[in-house]
Amino acid sequence: MSSIKNHVQLIGNIGHDPTITNLENGKKVARFSLATNEHFKNAKGEKQTETSWHAIVAWGSIVDIVEKYTEKGKEVGITGKLKTRSYTDKDNQTHYITEVVADEILLLGSKPDKA
């Protein structure tokens, strides 16, 4: 059970083309947003959709998959873990960011038409 203490599974659509950064140490990192939708009925019985946005970070061989096969709008499945980091801005204010660090990506939906 210890392996599922910090485990996230999401299926959604990529919100913007992934940003790939080449680091000085030769490693690459991919960052993108993922939109997930929850469907429900409100008190009046009307269908509603609530969209949540998640910051995704990928390292290692996953970056190659993200770089070659994903783009804005692509439906993907992500498994990973939550990680919170902080930084201090120029006004000396601390900001906290919670991200999903991807362990695995699954390409879903139809294949894109490549001309």
102 burial class (0-12, 13-18, 19+ CB within 10 angstroms)? buried
Query: Which pair of structure tokens corresponds to residue 29?
Result: 């990192």
- Strand duo 75-88 + 28-41: pairing: unpaired
Q: How far apart are CA 64 and CA 4, in angstroms?
A: 26
Residue 75 predicted with pLDDT over 60: yes
Residue 38: the pLDDT is: 93
Residue 5: the pLDDT is: 87
Partners of 22 in the β-ladder: 28
Q: Are 59 and 29 in contact (CB under 8 A)?
A: yes
Q: Where are the domains of the chain?
A: 2-107
For 30-72, the pLDDT digits (tens) are 999 999 999 999 999 999 999 999 999 999 999 999 999 999 9
List Cα–Cα distances, 49 to 56, 69, 75, in angstroms: 22, 28, 17
Query: Which pair of structure tokens corresponds to residue 93?
Result: 């204010």
Higher pLDDT residue, 73 or 112?
73
Q: How far apart are CA 15 and CA 38, in angstroms?
A: 16
Q: Which pTM value belongs to this model?
A: 0.84
CATH code: domain 2-107 is 2.40.50.140
- With pLDDT > 90 as the criterion, what percentage of the chain qualifies? 88
